[in-house]
Every structure is written in structure tokens, then in C-alpha cells.
Structure 1
Amino acid sequence: MPFTVVSLGGPVAPEGEAILRAAGIVSLATDPYPGKAELLPFLTEVQPDALIVRLIERVDAEVMTASPKLKAVAKHGAGTNDIDVAAAARLGIPVLAAVGANAHSVAEHALTLLLALVKDLPAQDAFVRGGGWEKKAYRGHEIRGRTLGIVGLGAIGSVVARLAAAFGMTVIAYDPYIPDAAFDPYAERVSDLNALLARADVVSLHCPLTAETRGMIDGRALGLMKRDALLINTARGEVVDEPALVAALKDGTIAAAGLDVFAPEPPAAANPLWALPNVIVSPHVGGVTEEARRELSVMTCRNVVALLEGREIDGRFLVRPA
């Protein structure tokens, strides 16, 4: 009897579907952000052997136990905060993540948000569309010679470091979990987060969401940053205390922010960030370029097939409880 895989939140890319079909797997998909009222009966009926997690609020024990046949939960991405990894471990269900598959896309997006802020692109676009053509009022800057502080120097942060160095930025980084021997050659190691926040002209977040990092960038942390500093967040919205960020942007504690992630997602229509002129936002799309989506799907589906067929999985793709 063939294995069944359900993608939660929409299908994987065609290249990933082809991998599943070639292995004789039945591939099904839900709509984005399925509610439990519809999801649980569906999973009970189809009895999937694996779940691919794309767009869903949370995969918890109730979702996982809806199918007694479930052998794997695979994140279509690197961050697994939408999966109850501890519950999966208790149930003996491996959790996989596509580590590094979208690193370059997210890194490019972080640099894009940075450049858009430094070059004042949203305001300039609106100015020209409104009939303006006055160059003397422009107050854009170069990023060359500025200091970029990276929080989290994993797969994404390392790419950001290389790209920023190519622009002529000085790169410093904080990551207490990477040994000195593995530290990125483009970045100077800073052992204290507070010191990084105080030194950096731009702070870019690339850390996972954990109990330690939740709310890490709060009012106190923002107060350590330079008044003309920028905050870029393409990690997880919960890493930043949003009300504190709104207050810091309003009172000039920091100059501006570029945000691709929010807490919660999707964010509320009345989110006070929308009213601030010194914020540029995008809807958590840093890692979903066409190229990254293909690579995520291919990596995820290859790992799922390997696990279901009983083959060994590279340890870097296996997620363990914090």
C-alpha cells in the first residue's frame, strides 16, 4: 500500500511533487491555514504517513495523533516554531527541517529591506508618482563603511555577512552556539549581545525562535541601539517585542525598521506599525522566492521519502526539542 503525504497549507512545488510521485507516494494538500474543525476529520480519514508543514497556525499533539500511521513531520522551511517539537518527540515522531534551502533568498531580502530604508525608496517612489522631482531634499546614504550587527550566524546569517562585506560594511555577529572554529570569516565575533546592539548601525535578526530568543529585542534592548540605527527582522516576529518597537520608532529611540515577520501572523489590520512612516514591511516572503520554494520542496520531499523508505537522514535536518 503506498504512503500518503499531506502538505498543510498548500501543495509543494512541482519539482517536489515529482519526487513524491516517483516514490509512489499519494500527495494531498490542504488550503492555507486550515482550522482544526476541518483538518482533524480530514487527517483521520486519509491517515497520512507524513505531514509537510507549510502554512498552518500550529501542528500540535492533537494534529499529529489524528493519524496513527504518522511517521514524520517535515517543515517546508527552517523554522519549526509552528510545530510542537517536544510533543512529536514524546510521540516518537521525527521532525525534519529544510535547513539552508532558502538561506540565500532570506539573506537577499534582509539586504533589500536594509537598502530600501537607507535609500528612502518608499518615500522617493511616492514622491515621484505624485509629481515630485526635487533632488535637494533627498537624504539617502551609503551602507559602505557602516557596521552591521548580525544576531544568529547560521545558514542565513552567514550569507548576510558575505553579502554585506561585499558592500563594504563592517560586520559583527553574536551567536553563542557556534564555536570559534566555525565562525564566519566575514564577521567579527562579539560575545555580548548588548555590545553588538550598542555598536551596530544596523541590527539584522537571523536567530531561531526559542524560549531564550522570544521577546529578546525588547524596550531595554532597543534602548541600547543608536538613535540612527535600523532594525531588520526576517527571523520570527516573536523575537521582537512589537509594542516596544512601535514605541521606539515613534519616540526616535531607533530610526527605522524593515520587517518581514510579525507576531501573530497574519498580523492584525489595525497593527500600529502600519501608521509609521519609518517602517517598511513585507508579508513573510523572504524565503519564498521561486528559486527558494523549489529548493525547499525538493529538499523536504527528498528527506520525507528517505525517512519513509527507512534510509538514513543527515543529522542537520533532524530537529530536536529545545
Structure 2
Amino acid sequence: MTLTVVSLGGPVTEGAEALLRDAGIRSFATGAYPKKEETLALLAERQPDAIVVRLVERIDEDILRASQRLKVVAKHGAGTNDIDVAAAARLGLPVLAAVGANARSVAEHALALMLALAKDVRRQDAFVRGGGWAAKIYTGFELHGRRLGLVGMGEIGRRLAAMVQPLGMTVAAHDPFAPDGAFGPDIARAADLPSLLAGSDVVSLHCPLTPQTRNLIGAPELRLMKPTALLINTARGEVVDEPALVEALRGGVIAGAGLDCFSPEPPAADNPLWGLDNVILSPHIGGVTEDARREVSLRTVRNVIALLSGQDVDRHFFVHP
């Protein structure tokens, strides 16, 4: 019997499609953010053995039940908050994630947001485009000698730590689940989140979205930060209490924020963040450079092919509720 894979929210890359063809697997794809009714109809018709989850609103139990042949759910990326992992576990369906495949791209994007804020790039770009030159108003500063506080010490956090050290930044991190070996000699382990926030000049979020991390950074946490501090979020929008962040940015509680993710996504057209000039924004693209997308697709498809063919898949890629 021919195996079938359906990619929800857009196709995998051509290289990954080639792997599927070479394995004798048929593949189909929807557009971005398919409606639930469309997804259910496609899965009922195609009866895939695997689904790849890209740009979707939510993979719930109804969707997981739509194909009687479904054997695996694979996230085209690392974060699985758009998949009901607990429902998949109840149904006996393994959930795989392409952990680490886009880590370098996300870390570079976090660094780019940090540098853009430190060098006042947004306002200087607007100033020059508006005809300004002589009456310079510049609030840039050096990152040398300042402390980066990482919330989460997975592969992205470790890569970012390595990137900022040649700039002369010191690094501390908070991650209650990371072993001591994840920190190394150049990264201080913060005693707790409040001490990390209070002692950092830049706080960068690299934790998954879980019930414990939802609204992890709210008004009380923002008040612990320095008024000169920057917040960078390339993790998930829901990790930050967005209304509290808006008030903190308006009131000078913190100096600025670089945001690649929002709650909800896509965000509303009248989101109050759009009107703030101390914010750098991007549309959740930190991990989707061509390099990262290619590697994520290849890793995702290789894991799917391995599981469907009865080969071992590294336990590192399995997601548990």
C-alpha cells in the first residue's frame, strides 16, 4: 500500500519532497492556515499515514481522528503549541518536532533584533528617509560590557550565548530543566527568574510555550527589569503578557522590545504595539530563512520516513505531553 503524507499550512521544500518521492510516498499540501473544515475534508479524503504541521491555527482531536491510517504527526519546526499533544498521546500517535534544525537562524534573528534596538536603527532609518541629517537625535549604545539574560538554555539559547560573547557581553541564564552541563564556564546560572530579570541589560526569551510559561513575563516581571533594559522575544507570543508589555513600553518601565512573535497570530491590525517607536517588529520569521526552512523540511521528512518504515528515530525528536 502506498504511504501518504499531508502537509498542513504549506508544502515542504523541494529537497524534502524529493526524499518523499524516492521513498515512494505520495504528498499533498494545503495553503497557509487552512480552515478546520478544509483540513478535515482533505484528511478524510486522502487518509494520510502522516501529517506535517506548518502554518495552522490548531491541530485538535477532531483533526487527529480524521484519518484512520494516521501513524505520526510531525511539526515543521520546534514548537508544538499548535498541536494537541495530549490528545495525540491518548490516541497513541507519536508527535515529532524538528528540534534544533532552525536554531542558528533564530539565534541570529534574536541578535539582529538586539542590535537594531541598541543602535536605534528603526528611528534612524525613519529619520533619514524623512529628509533628516543635520539635527541628529541618536540614542544608540554599545552592547560591550552589558549582560544578556537568557530565559531557556536549549540549543537556541546556547547558540545566542556564543554569538554575543565576542561582542564583550556577559551571559546569565535561567532554565530549571537544563542540566548544569548546558551552561558551561562562560554562562552563569541564575538562581531564579527574578534575579535574572533584575540583573540583565537584555533579556531574550527562548523557552517553549507550556502552561507554566504562558504569561511568564507579565507586569510584575517587567517591573523587575532595569528601565534601560531590552526584551527580545523569538519564542512564542503567549510567553509575554502583551498588554502588560505595551504599558511597560509606554511608561518607560523598560527601554524597548524586539518581537518576532505575538498573541494571537496573525495579530490584529490595530495592535497598540504598532504605534510605539521603541519596538522592532518582525512577522515570526526568525526560524524561516531559506537555510533553516531547508534543514527543517529535511529533518522533518527524514524523521517521518524513518518512523513509517519502522526505523529508529532519535528520542530527542519526540514530544511528550
User: Percent identity, aligned pairs only?
Assistant: 65
Amino acid at match of 1:128: V
What is the one-letter code of the residue matched to 1:180?
Answer: D
How big is the shift at 1:135?
6.7
Could you tell me how far 1:131 is from its partner in structure 2?
Answer: 1.6
One-letter code aligned to 1:17: E
1:131-187 residue CA offsets vs partner (Å, 9 max, x unmatched): 211375322111111100000010100001000112110101001101113324431
After superposition, residues 236-275 of structure 1 pair within 5 angstroms as 236-275=236-275
Q: Give the corresponding residue for 2:203.
A: 203
Q: Normalised by the size of structure 2, how large is the TM-score?
A: 0.98
Give SS of 2:7's match. strand
State the SS of the aligned residue for 2:42. Answer: helix
Tell me the alpha carbon deviations over residues 11-55 of structure 1, each in whole angstroms, 9 at most, x when there is no partner: 001111111111000010001000112111111010010000000
Which residue is 2:307 aligned to? 307
Letter aligned with residue 75 of structure 2: K
Retained in 2: the 8 A contact 1:218–1:245? Answer: yes
CA contact (8 A) 1:158 1:184 kept: no
Indicate whether 1:296 and 2:302 are aligned.
Answer: no
Map of 2:86 onto structure 1? 86
1:160 alignment partner, SS class: helix
- Partner secondary structure for residue 313 of structure 1: coil
Count how many residue pairs are aligned between Structure 1 and Structure 2.
321
Deviation at 1:200, TM superposition (A): 0.3
Instruction: Give yes or no for contact 1:110–1:232 (8 Å, CA) kept in 2.
Output: yes
Q: Which amino acid aligns with 2:109?
A: H
**Residue deviations 1:200-252, cap 9 Å, x none?**
00000000001110001000000000001000000000000000000100111
Structure 2 vs 1, CA of residues 195 and 136 (structure 1 numbering), >3 Å: closer, same or farther? same
SS in 1 for 2:299: helix
2:276 alignment partner in structure 1? 276
Find the aligned partners of 1:71 and 1:247 in 2 and give their Cα distance. Answer: 46
Q: Give yes or no for the alignment of 1:316 onto 2:316.
A: yes
- 2:215 equivalent in structure 1: 215
**Partner deviation per Cα, 1:287-308 (whole Å, 9 max, x = no partner):** 0000000000000000000000
Native 8 Å contact 1:85 1:95 kept in 2: yes
**Match of 2:161?**
161
User: Bigger shift: 90-99 or 131-140?
Assistant: 131-140
Q: CA RMSD in A?
A: 0.9
TM-score (norm 1): 0.98
Which runs of 5 or more residues in structure 1 are unaligned? Answer: none
State the partner residue of 1:127. 127
C-alpha distance in 2, partners of 1:38/1:195?
48
